[in-house]
A and B are shown apart, each in its own frame.
Chain A
C-alpha cells in the first residue's frame, strides 16, 4: 500500500508538471470547470430569489448539499474521470498496450498515469460552497461530523464505481463520449434535495443506485437531518464498486485476448 501511495504521488507530480507546461491553459481550464460546476448553485439561488424553494430545505442547506457533491466530484474525478479520458485516448491511439508492458496491475497504472489536475477546480469550488453554507447553517456537532465522514466516503465509492464502469465501456465503445454525458446527467440529480424524487424512485436512489448517497445523505448528517436508509446506500455503493471493478478487469482481459 505504501508503495502504491508513493507511486501515486509520483503520478500526481507528473500530472501537475504536464499541465503546468501550459500554465494559462491550466488556469483557464480550472476556472471554466469551476464555472460550469457552479451553474446548478446559481440556478438554485435564482429560484430561491424568486420565492420558490425545495420543501423543508433552506437555500443554505441546498448549497451545502451542492458543496458536498462538488467536493466528492473534486476528489474522485481527478482520479477516476482522468482515467476514463486517458484510457479512451490510449485505446484509440493503440498505446494502451504500452501500459501492459509495466510490472503493475493495469488499473493501478491507469490511475497513476492519468491524474487530471484540471478537475481540482471542482474541489476548490465545493469547499468554498461547503464553508459558506456551514457559515449560514451553523457548525455541525461532533457526532454529526462522525456520521458525515463514512457517508461521504461511501458517496466517493459510488462515484468511483460509476467512473470505473464508464472507463470500461469507453474501452469497448472507443470515443463514445455520450456515455459520460449520461453518467454526468444521472449523477447530477444527486445534488438536489430528495424532495425532487417521487417516493418509489427515492428508494431506488438509495439502493441499488445510491445517488442520494453522493451528497444528500452526508449533507443531511451535517445538518442533523434524518439519514434513514444509509446502510442500504452504503452496501449498494460497495457492491457496485466491486461489480464495476470486475467489469473493468474483464474488459482489459478482453483487450488482451482480442485483436493483433
Chain B
C-alpha cells in the first residue's frame, strides 16, 4: 500500500520577516561613533505573503534583487524563522520548527553556493551525503545510477570539483541534492552563468524530475528558465506578493513591448516615431523600447532600414525588473 501525497506541498499564510540592519555613514567620524553606538534600521524583507503550492507543481518565484525572494525561500526551507505567519509544508511540517525531520524531504540547489567540496571529486561528497542522510547502500546506488544517467555525470563525478566547468558542477550539485529523493525541491538561480547548452541540459533535467512528481520552486532572474519550465509564476517585490498566476497572462500584460538593441553609425541624431522610446545611446549603440500596439515590429524594421545602415540588431523582451515594477506600480495582481 502506498501513501497518497498531500494535496498541497506548501501552504503559506501571512508570512512576514523583519530584521534589523546596521547603518552608518562613510566619514571617519561616523565610523568612530559606531564604536559606542550602532544605529540599526528595521527592514521588512517579507510582508504578508500568502500562497499555496500543489504537490507536483512547478512554480517560478521571481522578483528583482532585494525583493525578499531569498528570505522567503529560506523560511520555506526551514533555515530562517519568520517574524509572523504560518507555513504548512508536505505532511504537516512547520519548516523552522521541524527542521531536522522536514529537510529530509526537501532538496535545494543554489547556483551561487556550492554544496560540493572544492578539492575532491563530487562522488566523495555524494558518499558524505549518504552518511548524513543515512541512505541505505542499495537505495543510494540505485538513485546514483539513475541520476548519473539523467545528468550524464559518470566521468565528471570522479574528477576534482575545482577542475569541472560550471555546467558540469551544476549537474553534480543537482545529483547531490537529489540523492535522498526529496519531494520538494528549491532551486535558486540554477542556470546562472551557464552557456546555452548547459542551460538546456539543466532545464531538461528539471522538467524530468518534475514529471516524476517532485514539486519545484524555481527562483531565477532568467525569464527563459521560467518560460521553459513553469506555467505559474509568483512575483515578489519589496517583500510583497506582486503577482501570483499563470505565465501567459503575465506575458500578455507586458507583451506589447519589445526592447530593441541596435548598432548603427548612421542612426539619426533626432529620431522620432510613434510608439518608440529612446532609452539610451552611446556612440553607435542604441537602445529603444517599442510599443507593438502602436507600431508593429515589421513596420518599425522597414522604417529603420530606410533611415540608417544597421550593423547589428537584437529584439528581446523587456527585462524582468521592468515587468515586476510595472506590476507593483499597478498595485499587484493575482491570477488566482
Binding site for B on A (CB under 8 A): 3, 6-7, 10-11, 14, 17-18, 21-22, 93-95, 97-98, 100-105, 109, 112-113, 256-260
Binding site for A on B (CB under 8 A): 17, 19, 21, 43, 45-46, 68, 70-71, 74, 77-81, 96, 99-101, 103-104, 106, 108, 110, 113-115, 117, 119-120, 124-125, 127-128, 131-134, 160
- A14 adjacent to B100 (CB under 8 Å): no
Identify 16 residue pairs between A and B in the complex whose beta-carbon atoms are under 8 Å apart, listed by A's number: A3-B134, A14-B120, A14-B124, A17-B124, A93-B113, A95-B113, A95-B114, A97-B74, A98-B110, A98-B113, A101-B78, A102-B132, A103-B103, A104-B100, A257-B80, A260-B17
Q: Which of B80, B96, B103, B125 contacts A102 (CB 8 A)?
A: B103
- B113 adjacent to A103 (CB under 8 Å): no
Residues of A within 8 A of B17 (CB): 260
Residues of B within 8 A of A22 (CB): 119
Residues of A within 8 A of B80 (CB): 97, 256-257, 260
Nearest B-chain residue to A8, judged by Cβ = B131
Q: Which of A10, A17, A93, A100 contacts B120 (CB 8 A)?
A: A17
Nearest B-chain residue to A258, judged by Cβ = B19
- B132 adjacent to A103 (CB under 8 Å): yes
Known A7-B132, A10-B128, A101-B79: A260·B104 in contact at CB below 8 Å = no
Nearest B-chain residue to A97, judged by Cβ = B79
Residues of A within 8 A of B127 (CB): 10
Chain A nearest CB, measured from B1 CB (Å): 25
- B117 adjacent to A14 (CB under 8 Å): yes
Nearest A-chain residue to B106, judged by Cβ = A101
Beyond the given A11-B128, A100-B103, could you list 4 further A-B residue pairs with CB under 8 A, ordered by the A residue number?
A104-B132, A105-B100, A257-B81, A260-B68
Nearest A-chain residue to B177, judged by Cβ = A101
CA distance A14 to B45 in the complex (A): 38
CA distance A79 to B164 in the complex (A): 30
Residues of A within 8 A of B101 (CB): 103
Known A3-B134, A101-B77, A103-B133: A260·B117 in contact at CB below 8 Å = no
Known A6-B131, A21-B160, A104-B132: A260·B124 in contact at CB below 8 Å = no
CA distance A6 to B132 in the complex (A): 10
- B131 adjacent to A256 (CB under 8 Å): no
CA distance A98 to B115 in the complex (A): 7
Chain B nearest CB, measured from A117 CB (Å): 12
Chain B nearest CB, measured from A28 CB (Å): 16
- B79 adjacent to A103 (CB under 8 Å): no
| Count of chain A to chain B residue pairs whose CB atoms are closer than 8 Å in the complex | 78
Residues of A within 8 A of B132 (CB): 7, 102-104, 109, 112
- A260 adjacent to B19 (CB under 8 Å): yes
Question: What 5 pairs between A and B have smallest CB-CB spacing?
Answer: A260-B71, A21-B119, A260-B45, A100-B79, A10-B131
Nearest B-chain residue to A9, judged by Cβ = B131
- B124 adjacent to A100 (CB under 8 Å): no
Residues of A within 8 A of B115 (CB): 98
CA distance A104 to B81 in the complex (A): 18
Residues of A within 8 A of B114 (CB): 95
Chain A nearest CB, measured from B47 CB (Å): 12
Residues of A within 8 A of B108 (CB): 98, 101
Chain B nearest CB, measured from A48 CB (Å): 44
CA distance A180 to B13 in the complex (A): 44
Residues of A within 8 A of B117 (CB): 14, 18
CA distance A188 to B77 in the complex (A): 43
Most central of B17, B80, B114, B160 by chain A CB within 10 Å:
B80
Residues of A within 8 A of B110 (CB): 98
- A256 adjacent to B96 (CB under 8 Å): yes
Residues of B within 8 A of A102 (CB): 103, 132-133
- B21 adjacent to A259 (CB under 8 Å): yes
CA distance A32 to B117 in the complex (A): 25
Chain B nearest CB, measured from A255 CB (Å): 9
Most central of B45, B110, B120, B124 by chain A CB within 10 Å:
B120
Q: Which of A11, A14, A17, A256 contacts B79 (CB 8 A)?
A: A256
CA distance A6 to B134 in the complex (A): 10
Q: Which of B19, B100, B113 contacts A94 (CB 8 A)?
A: B113
Chain A nearest CB, measured from B65 CB (Å): 12
Chain A nearest CB, measured from B224 CB (Å): 27
- A260 adjacent to B43 (CB under 8 Å): yes
Chain A nearest CB, measured from B107 CB (Å): 8
Q: Which of B70, B103, B128 contacts A101 (CB 8 A)?
A: B103
Residues of A within 8 A of B45 (CB): 260
Most central of A103, A104, A109, A257 by chain B CB within 10 Å:
A103
Residues of B within 8 A of A10 (CB): 127-128, 131
